Amino acid sequence: MDILKSLGHPEEIFNLFKFKMGGCKTVMPKLDYESMSLSLRTCYLYLNQTSRSFAAVIQALDGELRHAVCIFYLVLRALDTVEDDMTIPLDKKVPMLNDFHTYLYQDGWCFTESQEKDRQVLSDFPTISLEFRNLAQQYRDVISDICHRMGAGMADFLEKKVGSMKEWDLYCHYVAGLVGIGLSQLFSASQLEDPEVGRDTELANSMGLFLQKTNIIRDYLEDTQEGRAFWPQEAWSQFAGRLEDLAQPEKLESALSCLNLLVTDALRHVPDVIAYLSRLRNQSVFNFCAIPQVMAIATLSTCYNNPMVFQRVVKIRKGQAVTLMMEATNMSAVQTIIAQYSQEILQKVSHTDPSRDKTLHILALIREKSALSQSSLASRTHHLSPMYLSAAMLLAALSWQYLSTTAAQAQGTGDMQGQ
């Protein structure tokens, strides 16, 4: 039960209730699916089926940018599904990745042999490519270019492992940095953001790298169990003979040292994240960009020096995620959140950790960039009396099931699948 995981965090319980009772509409407004063509409506159905984290913020974007980003996401999801499908032989997969951008202009191209969970975006690719061709030219140019560059990069890394830290940066650039660059160019093309947002590819690349590295760090166990290796060899080879050895109980100290090294490397992108977000002017674009970033730093704080990374996939609490979604709507709030989680990581840094000096240095730089006083940081900490907290817990326990049921029923009545 999600609410039980937030028992020690009363502000999360409050926000879970607020979210259930309609607060979600502030960041996830309902779309008018009835006004859409059948093919576009199908694209939003696929978006909601395939995206764990981006569907809500994509659908909250303003105007025609919403459709452009939706199609951009689905095109790259289809490309990523080809890369992930281990049943496709290399002699077939490499040409598919290199040529994928050309399929956008082929009416009937589809791929029905995939075994991946998101295979519908390949089997029904004609619906996605149709809506791609319905976009304005400035959006099509960006999506096609990024798809081309990403496919080539993916193909390049299929036959080699991520070795050095520089190669880790390059791999993350291909699979996520280019997404950040493409999104930034779409923002500028829509005229909702200044041209400089689309031109500054360095900051946009850092936005993508921060998210991708966080996912790679978090997903260590799942990836190694499925035969995928994304942790750079330059890092893990300092602590183990094989990447999968880090999951062995007797290797825990070495595993944590490797984990902390990679978290520290990911954190070096945070100053760029702050600089990028500071430039944004449109509220929907800001929410779209800021929410995943604050969830990423919360995830890194949870992962840092955490043995559970080597035993299961570590996730932040749902109440924590909802709180971040509802709070990260302006730059001041984002800086406060970043400062909070940076402070949490700082408190976990061991005196014997090999990366200690680098970690302390980047955390100091993040604190400087976020430019917050301790009094501002304290404002996010809620102090409630034990009596109040006990009453809140009792109310929560009695009410949660009812609220979940009624909210689900309300959601069902307006679901796009029923239209």
| Contact call for residues 16 and 2 (beta carbons, < 8 A) | yes
Closest alpha carbon to 45 in 414, 418, 413, 417: 417
Catalytic residue among 230, 276, 288, 310: 288
Residue 35 carries which side chain, given as an amino acid letter?
S
Q: Catalytic annotation on 288? A: yes
- DSSP letters, 324-377, are HHHH-SSHHHHHHHHHHHHHHHHHH--TT-TTHHHHHHHHHHHHHHHT--HHHH
Closest alpha carbon to 206 in 184, 223, 190: 184
Q: Which residue pairs, CB below 8 angstroms and at least 24 apart, start in 296-301?
A: 296/210, 296/211, 296/214, 297/214, 297/270, 297/337, 297/338, 297/341, 297/342, 298/324, 298/337, 298/341, 299/214, 299/218, 300/214, 300/217, 300/263, 300/266, 300/267, 300/341, 300/345, 301/341, 301/344, 301/345
Catalytic residue among 41, 66, 77, 218: 218
Q: Catalytic annotation on 228? A: yes
Residue located via tokens 């990836």: 223
Q: Catalytic annotation on 317? A: no
Q: Which residue pairs, CB below 8 angstroms and at least 24 apart, start in 10-15?
A: 10/382, 10/384, 10/389, 10/392, 11/323, 11/382, 12/317, 12/319, 12/320, 12/322, 12/323, 13/319, 13/392, 13/393, 13/396, 15/319, 15/322, 15/323, 15/326
Catalytic residue among 44, 125, 171, 220: 171
Catalytic residue among 140, 228, 356, 380: 228
Q: In 21-136, which ranges are continuous DSSP H helix?
A: 38-50, 55-59, 63-84, 90-99, 120-123, 125-133
Catalytic residues: 171, 218, 228, 288
